[in-house]
Chains A and B, each alone.
Chain A
């Protein structure tokens, strides 16, 4: 074993992100002015990005509506962040892992998790409703940034076991202030772990704007402190998000280590249905970001190149309407919960004390039923 107390300084200039966000398609649907080293995805992928964003948007809008009908306990919308939700997930390979937050339902759906399983947490009948191993999707994380460490551990652990797996962690701007983000970036860098961190900088942590969150020039700039190369991308440009994450995944899989990507985007809706965004931001700001809609942008680009016709757009819209109707129907079905399940899954086998508590609860329920309550 060789150890070096003070490693020789290396040229760190390559670690810094560009000053302006990388962009492949601008907000009017024209070729972006700052592609950097990003390669434009093939037309088929651009069409798939468009389709998935339309599907995701429709489900997202449907979910917000379901909260008003009491069918979901809460829903944190990702409307406006569609390019990140879809672009990042489509850039993953089948064997890679996604570590999502509570705002990433669309990303989870894009990964292939059925809606009723993806929405279990937000409906409230259990915590995580899907099998993480089946889809390589970790449970949605409601504490901020804690899952970034799980992702680094999984990525490093898989490599120790000789497996080719990259772990993508989704973070928000607020999460970059949490200690676990910094520990995750540091561990990933020291271990050279095949990990990719995508920060969806949507401008607000609930109500707190970025200016109160950080004094760094950009969130991507934080990578240099850990020796991690970083990218700053236009987070409403699905092509750029896809290309950036794809390149980072390929780099990680080839043994190149972790990458930090900051995607500049915006949360169109409030934090959740329980939040009132008018208390901390004005309508003009929202209007300006509505004009940078990620779906409209990609659609304009594809139409201008005759890659997408009216018929195609209608077909995708119909598919999205059908999907949203299907989600509504599934969520309107009454939920059955089993109180006895409370005692399962605490340990591999319930302890004697848990068995006693289960018996007591079931007896209590039986007595209530007999009393006609």
Chain B
């Protein structure tokens, strides 16, 4: 791919992002917000295809730039879906989207220097968290890991040259934990992932949802241990 073709793609992606950013507000029409979501999903697919081309042609910088576009599209998609879910009275699902959005904005900044300005966006989402949602109780797990694998090359992490959090050929390096055992669970103020939180606790007549404050029927798995709070771990760890 030549420079002019790269420029065209960048202009097109920037234009989609500018148009979709308009819908990051609760007052926007839900139908138009859903159209914006569909446009962002198309952008994500296009980025994925172009990234494969960039990798095949040995253009790591463009692959990382496309990774940044994927991150910002994910960020906007998450924020718009958060507003849609709030309008649909689904605050727990909206919270998960809220947390995904700044993580994606931060990742975009790390992916490529072209997205350095997005740091401010993460601050805006932090404000949304504080103003729109009630305070949450976060959980963090400690794990004993016998082997750490590099997500880029598959070798033992620490024995290769890749560094966690850095982009390589359109992918972030991360540590893949292998041979794991649980060590502890702690209540923390600043978890790595704010989706790991206490979602409800036992109350007279069922379980109180910490987000809606409604009493809901006790879920079958929680019935034997009345004092146990339910923990939502969206990471699947």
Asked if A and B are interacting partners, one says: no
